[in-house]
Each structure stands twice: as C-alpha cells, then as structure tokens.
C-alpha cells in the first residue's frame, strides 16, 4: 500500500518526531532547514540521477547504489550506525527503476559496454551475467519492503522505513505491505 504525505498528519505515527518524519517534512512539506552538526539518518537510495531529495546539509548519510540495494553496502550501513550514530534508515525505492526487468536490457547493456566502455562483447556478457542477478529486482515496492525487513532484523535497534520516490511527481511516499 502506498501512503501519501501531503501534511504532517499524513506521516505514519511511528515516523512522527523521528528523522524519518523529518525527512518527509523537509522533502514533501517544505519545512525550513535547520543546522545539523551530525547526521540523524542514513538514506539508502538508487543511483538514478532523476531523484534529488530536499534536505539540509549534514542531515543524513546517503548511500546510492543500483536499485537502492544495500546488500553489498552493509559495512557502510554499519559504519553510519556504529560511528555516525544514526538511529534510523530511510530505504527509498523509486518508480521507473532501471534495475526492474534488468534481464530485458541484457543486449543493450552489453552493446553499451562495447561502445561506451571499450569492452569486448564476451567480457561485457560475462560481466552482465555475473552481476545482474545481484542487482535485478522484480518490483521496486516489494523489494524495498523485503530489504527494510531484512535490515530491521539485522539492526534491531534501528528504525528502518521502506519508502517510495515517485519520479513522476518528485515526492516521497510511505509503504506498507498489503498485510498490515
């Protein structure tokens, strides 16, 4: 289920008065920026260049990776928690993600590495075959819900929020599994 945030009352109760709620206030509601000495939040999001968050300097650590997949960035996540002291993670998927249906782009990927990267076709194909299974996602909403649950289990004292960024309107949305 996708839940809009158009006013403070739309922010889910568990996110109010937390860095997750503050993220919504900055990005969706235009809250005036305040000064931060230290990051309060870790944001995991896709490397896609169409997504820009409206947040103040030093408010958050940000890890960008293909599909917002943090499985291969766990040391960075642990660092933000252990050394950075963050108590919350905003895991942000987005619409129109290039990692959805990645297999369908196999030939374009290989050709692009040949033309743009100077790779030979065989090496490009091997590269795709090795890494595509690690990063392909079937559905961005399902992926971020599953990944948020995994991270919540791994870091039980950390609030992990599965969110969706709609490229179509540049806004953040809250996600809930249909079962809750």
pLDDT in tens, 94-141: 998 889 999 999 999 999 999 999 999 999 999 999 999 988 989 999
Residue 38 shares a structural domain with residue 53: yes
Which one, of 142, 164, 145, lies nearest residue 3 by Cα? 164
Of 97, 89, 90, 105, residue with least CA distance to 140: 97
Question: Could you tell me the CATH number of the domain that includes residue 75?
Answer: 3.40.1050.10
How many percent of the chain have pLDDT more than 70? 99
> Do residues 84 and 166 share a domain?
yes
Same domain, 142 and 126: no
Domain-located, residue 180: no
The confidence score (pLDDT) of residue 48 equals: 87
Is residue 114 within 8 A of residue 148, CB to CB? The reply is no
Q: In what order do the strands lie in the sheet with 88-94?
A: 2-3, 171-175, 159-166, 88-94, 41-46, 60-65
Task: Clarify whether residues 128 and 61 are in a common domain.
Answer: no
Q: Is residue 92 part of a domain?
A: yes
Contacts of 106 (CB under 8 A, 6+ apart): 128, 132
Q: Does residue 94 lie in a domain region? A: yes
Task: Decide: 174 and 165 in contact? Cβ < 8 Å.
Answer: no
Residues 65 and 147 occupy one common structural domain: yes
Range of the domain at 65: 2-98+138-175
The pLDDT score that the predictor gives to residue 72 is: 86
Domain membership of residue 15 (yes or no) is: yes
pLDDT band at 160 (very low <50, low <70, confident <90, very high): very high
For residue 26, being part of any structural domain is answered with yes
The per-residue pLDDT of the chain, averaged, comes to 94
Chain centroid offset of residue 50 CA:
13
């Amino acid at each position: 289920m996708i839940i809009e945030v158009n006013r403070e009352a739309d922010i889910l109760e568990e996110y109010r008065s937390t860095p997750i709620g503050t993220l919504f206030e900055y990005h969706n509601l235009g809250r005036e920026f305040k000064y931060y000495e230290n990051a309060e939040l870790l944001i995991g999001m896709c490397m896609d260049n169409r997504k820009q968050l409206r947040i103040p300097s030093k408010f958050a650590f940000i890890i960008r990776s293909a599909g917002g997949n943090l499985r291969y960035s766990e040391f960075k996540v642990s660092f933000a928690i252990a050394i950075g002291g963050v108590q919350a993670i905003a895991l942000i998927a987005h619409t129109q993600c290039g990692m959805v249906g990645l297999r369908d782009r196999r030939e374009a990927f290989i050709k692009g590495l040949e033309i743009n990267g100077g790779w030979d076709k065989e090496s490009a194909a091997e590269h795709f075959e090795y890494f595509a299974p690690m990063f392909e996602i079937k559905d961005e909403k399902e992926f971020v819900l599953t990944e948020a649950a995994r991270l919540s289990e791994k870091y039980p004292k950390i609030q992990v929020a599965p969110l969706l960024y709609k490229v179509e309107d540049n806004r953040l949305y809250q996600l809930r599994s249909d079962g809750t």
